[in-house]
Amino acid sequence: MPKQNITIKDIIKSFKYWPRLLSLLWGVSKSNLIIIIVLTLINGLTPTLSLLASQHLINEVQIHMNKYFAAVLTAFIVFIIISLVTDFFGGIVVYFQTVYQKVLIYKLNVTLMEKANSLSLSDFENSEIYDKLSRAKNQVSYRPYQILNSILTVMSSIVTLVSSMLVVLAWKPWIIIVLIIFPVISSIYTLKVGQLEFMIQWKRAPKERRAWYLSYLLTNDQSFKEIKLYGIGNHILKKYKDLNKEFYDQDKYVAKKRTGMIFFSNFMEQVSGDITLFFIIWSAFMGKILMGSTVGLIRAVSLVQSNVKTFISTFFDMYENNLFIEQLFEFLDVPASKLDMITDGGITVENIETVEFKNIYFKYPSQTTETLKNINLKINAGENIALVGKNGSGKTTLIKLLCGLYEITSGDILINGISIKDINIIKLREKIATVFQDFLRYEMTVRDNIGLGNLELINEDDKLKKVALDAGIYDAIERMPKKFDTQLGMWFKEGTQFSGGQWQKIALARAFIRKAELIILDEPSSALDPLSEREMFDKFLQLTDRKIGLFITHRFINAKYATRIVVLDKGEIVEEGTHEELMKIGGQYKSLYDVQYNIYENQKVDIS
């Protein structure tokens, strides 16, 4: 957590990420950045040049009045040229800055997405890391560019400040002290307000995520049905309003502090300006300086004041932005998934012949007890394994470990006798097809929803048709207006909504199109009618012939299809065997099966 009380040392320390930030900014577009810097330096010089040109013009008018107009005309032409140059370079720099900003935001978003893609599932289930991602994502669209803009502003301010100070110094050097001391005093208060604003933003990142989620619930078609049916829309809306009322109160408090700061700063600036202005007017009144010099000095004082103020406020804005940039790099520094890092040097498995869980223990970071304990299980090609057990017994966790989504706490998973820790996990996943219980519904076309399972075949209509037939969803696709190019979901224009069972069949088709040697289904028939369920399992058995099939189910009729049934309880394998063997044992499997059988029997449902 950031510190409450800030020292000069803390401000200097906040710049520690600048080498990385500057490297990032340089890498976006070197030529654009160089042009922007050069134009910024030129623009920093133009206010003083304009000042001197106008001063010279007025002095020439006063000196040569009714005598020598050519000198006045020359001064006027110089003034016009400098004004045109100022406008030209000002417009050009805005163009290059706009283009650069667009590219910067794009590249930073890509960097965040690439980083997120390198993390493990456990990272996304870690609230602390997720908060870092949220903070980085919320700030990435403007904070890095704000720092660049601050750097450019400081550069321009320094050039303008130095050049305008030279004008004042040539008249009365001591005036500079009066012009600088008051802004320095007011800057201390500016720093405290900036730190307060950052602390409030930093602390409320988790609540902002909660507010986003509440908004998502009320604006998403998947959640709308239940919210409408249960009549909880107003309850969720109240929670959202309460959170935003808290945000509003915090922002109002900061705005009040900032307003006080601005008033105090402006007052200080006014006092120093009025003192200086008095001496300029007195000197002009006494005839010590020409009228043009009087106007020039007034403008020079204004430039010194405004640029001292700009320099100090921008410097402290940099500090404030540095605190947010720290959040960006803290997220980018989260270690990537160790399994995903094994790519170039990892072993590539050509064919999956065996999968073996060996003394597996696994514990979620947020938990004190193991979810899986001493799991030992070997599966050979040609086998279909059913994982059954009560909720929370560790079935889904086991298959997530096999997919390399979590890092094993203890033990090992062997693929063809090779440790998964030594295998190229990216290549291994290409040989795995999985349908999780919470499968994803892509708000894309049918082609995308199926073809994302194997991008090489996404435009092969014959292949898409085959897997759609295998999954039992082809007839529904044929009835759609644009067939495979029909938009699914209701988020985008011309979208068509599927039923839960149809979405599940789409997910199955996405799994079937992969060139998989290990097919994993997690509650694959939860949304299917009995006929579709039977057809799906028939197809699953065909697809896993001479391959490895692994499925989780709570319907014990489906477990009958398995070569072996593995029963888990409280993270341990308690029984293993065929349906007939386990029924003879009379253990937990038989107990659960009998309960389900009796339910179906009472409902006159055939489960044979």
pLDDT per residue as tens digits for the range 97-115 = 888 888 888 888 888 888 8
Q: Give all domains of the chain, ordered by start, each with its CATH number.
A: 16-332 (1.20.1560.10), 353-431+517-602 (3.40.50.300), 439-515 (3.40.50.300)
pLDDT per residue as tens digits for the range 493-513 = 777 777 777 888 888 888 888
pLDDT per residue as tens digits for the range 294-332 = 777 778 777 777 777 777 777 767 776 776 777 778 777
Is the Cβ–Cβ distance between 17 and 144 less than 8 Å? no
Percent of the chain, pLDDT > 70? Answer: 88
Give the residues across from 412 on adjacent strands.
358
pLDDT at 36 > cutoff 70: yes
What span, in angstroms and rounded, lies between the C-alpha atoms of 118 and 110? 12
**What would the DSSP string read from start to end of 109-134?**
HHHHHHHHHHS-HHHHT-HHHHHHHH
List the single range of 183-197, 327-341, 560-574 with lowest mean pLDDT: 183-197
What does DSSP assign to residue 573? E
Give the residues across from 336 on adjacent strands.
none
Name the nearest CA neighbour of 82 among 40, 54, 59, 55. 54
Residues in the chain: 608
The predicted pLDDT at position 526 comes to 61
What Cα–Cα distance (Å) separates residue 487 from each residue in 298, 449, 471, 509? 66, 10, 19, 17
Q: What is the CA radius of gyration of the chain?
A: 35
Is the Cβ–Cβ distance between 197 and 319 less than 8 Å? no
pLDDT per residue as tens digits for the range 270-279 = 777 777 778 7
Q: Which H or E element spans position 489?
A: none
Question: In degrees rounded to 5, what are phi and psi of residue 515?
Answer: -85, 70
**What would the DSSP string read from start to end of 378-426?**
EEETT-EEEEEESTTSSHHHHHHHHTTSS--SEEEEEETTEEGGGB-HH
Tokens of 96: 């290059």
pLDDT per residue as tens digits for the range 202-233 = 777 778 878 888 887 887 766 765 676 567 78
Q: Average pLDDT of the chain?
A: 79
Cβ neighbours, 10 Å, residue 59:
20
Map residue 544 onto helix, strand or coil: coil
